[in-house]
Structure 1
Amino acid sequence: MNDQAIQRLKDCGVDVDGTVRRLMNKVDLYERLLRRFPEDQSYDQLKNALEEGRVEDAFHAAHTLKGVSGNLGLNRLMEADSILVELLRKGVSDGADEAMEAVSGAYQETVEAIREL
């Protein structure tokens, strides 16, 4: 990863430095994992489940997305998703639309930065 790509990721709330340290300074491994993130289906599953009113399925997808995001240091996305996870954990759909908007914004921004690698 070049310095410009790293800065773009950091601007999107990605903890590049901390995640690379957790991966024992294996930058190549981190880059490979990041490149695979857009293929993960949890965001699409979350979006579809919410659109169809399947709160329990939306919770599971949001929880998975939160875990994947956390493991990759996608902190802005993980933090936005954490709010949605807690709403859905309680079975609450009130406020889920607003929380999903925040998740979608963070997701799109993160994926765009990853695709620029």
Structure 2
Amino acid sequence: MTLDHTDRTELLREGGIDHREAMERFCGNEALYERLALKFLDDPHFAELEQALSDKDAQTAYRAAHSLKGVAGNLSLRRLYDQTCRLCDALRASDLDAAERILPDARAAYDAVIRTLDQLRG
């Protein structure tokens, strides 16, 4: 799928990605941003987070959430970043119940990013 600039920006926005912020961070280098963003499709941190929560391992879950937060922030994956901030706060306090309540919103944000990046990849 070939997208013009407007279509690409709208696609990213719908996926919870702040294109304007990303372009500021990447000095307008769309190709670099796209290359790095597409690498996110192979990022293991969300799966690690889910597994750690399933195992009731707050420390490992926190590390995974914190790593995911950093990647999401750097790539301007705004909705996912916001949810991982909430997860990090809960897990820093070792509040697994709160983290598990937040997880569905984080999963929805993560899935939106993955769908968007799959579309972007074409």
| TM-score normalised by length of structure 1 | 0.95
Query: 1:64-89: CA deviations, max 9, x gaps?
Result: 00010000000100001111110000
Which residue identity is paired with 1:57? Answer: T
Paired position in structure 2 for 1:37? 40
The percentage of counterpart residues that share the same residue type is 31
Which residue identity is paired with 2:73? Answer: G
Q: 2:89 aligns with which of 86, 89, 106?
A: 86
Which residue identity is paired with 1:21? Answer: E
Question: 1:5·1:116 contact (CA, 8 Å) conserved in 2?
Answer: no
Gaps of 5+ in 2: none
Paired position in structure 1 for 2:23? 20
Paired position in structure 2 for 1:74? 77
Paired position in structure 2 for 1:96? 99
Question: 2:16·2:112 contact (CA, 8 Å) conserved in 1?
Answer: no
1:112 counterpart = 2:115: yes
Pairwise CA distance, 1:41: 0.8
Aligned equivalents of 1:31 and 1:43: distance in 2? Answer: 20
Gaps of 5+ in 1: none
Aligned structure 1 segments of 4 or more residues deviating by more than 4 angstroms: none
